[in-house]
């Protein structure tokens, strides 16, 4: 799977660990930055991630910041993105199954690397259920549906 990953400075270590782990799992990973721990603005990286997932360059996105909140808000500004802030695998799976989330957000200061990997695994392995959920997902990008 083609996966894009981006963070702010607070999550750079978790981003690097997840990037290497995903590559080991056989995924193609686009690291959208940042490259150094210098302070950056999370919206810049959230917008970049949203653009890459929306245009199809990446099939899924992983957004990281200290809490996961700020970057998830910035990703969700894009009408084609559905980014769920998760902290455990069940939420990650339900975000895919019910909401067709194409991005998840994790907080590096709140989620350890093993739990982050479990969330990413659930996110990547769960399929969208469609059916009654499709109508609701359609309304996320087009409220007049």
Choose, from 27, 78, 98, 145, the residue flagged as catalytic: 98
pLDDT in tens, 73-101: 999 999 999 999 999 999 999 999 999 99
Q: What share of the chain is helix, strand, coil (3-state, %, to 5)?
A: 50, 15, 35
Supply the pLDDT for residue 145. 61
Tell me the C-alpha distance between 59 and 95, whole Å.
15
Supply the pLDDT for residue 96. 96
Find the mean pLDDT for residues 35-59.
96
Residue 51, C-beta contacts closer than 8 angstroms, at least 6 positions apart? 78
Whether 98 sits among the annotated catalytic residues: the reply is yes
Residue boundaries of the structural domains of the chain: 2-141
Supply the pLDDT for residue 108. 98
Q: Kindly list the strands in the beta sheet with 60-65, ordered across the sheet, starting from the edge strand earlier in the chain.
A: 28-31, 2-7, 60-65, 103-107, 83-85
Burial of 85 (0-12, 13-18, 19+ CB in 10 A): buried
Tell me the C-alpha distance between 78 and 76, whole Å.
5
pLDDT in tens, 52-71: 999 999 999 999 999 999 99
Angle between helices 89-99 and 113-125 (to 10 degrees): 20
Q: Does domain 2-141 have CATH number 3.40.1400.10?
A: yes
Tell me the C-alpha distance between 15 and 74, whole Å.
17
Choose, from 65, 83, 103, 119, the residue flagged as catalytic: 65
Supply the pLDDT for residue 143. 64
Tally the residues of the chain.
145
pLDDT interval class at 141 (50, 70, 90): confident
Element (H, E) at 106: strand 103-107
Q: Is the overall model pTM greater than 0.85, yes or no?
A: yes
């Amino acid at each position: 799977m083609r996966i894009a990953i981006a963070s702010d400075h607070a999550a750079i270590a978790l981003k690097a660990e997840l990037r290497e782990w995903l590559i080991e799992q056989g995924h193609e990973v686009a690291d959208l930055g940042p490259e150094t721990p210098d302070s950056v603005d999370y919206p810049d990286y959230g917008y970049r991630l949203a653009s890459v997932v929306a245009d199809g360059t990446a099939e899924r996105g992983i957004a990281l910041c200290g809490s996961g909140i700020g970057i998830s808000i910035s990703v969700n500004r894009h009408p084609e993105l559905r980014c769920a802030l998760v902290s455990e695998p069940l939420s990650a799976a339900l975000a895919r199954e019910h909401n067709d989330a194409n991005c998840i957000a994790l907080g590096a200061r709140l989620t350890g690397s093993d739990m982050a990997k479990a969330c990413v695994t659930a996110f990547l392995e769960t399929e969208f259920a469609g059916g009654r959920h499709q109508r609701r997902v359609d309304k996320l990008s087009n409220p007049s549906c």
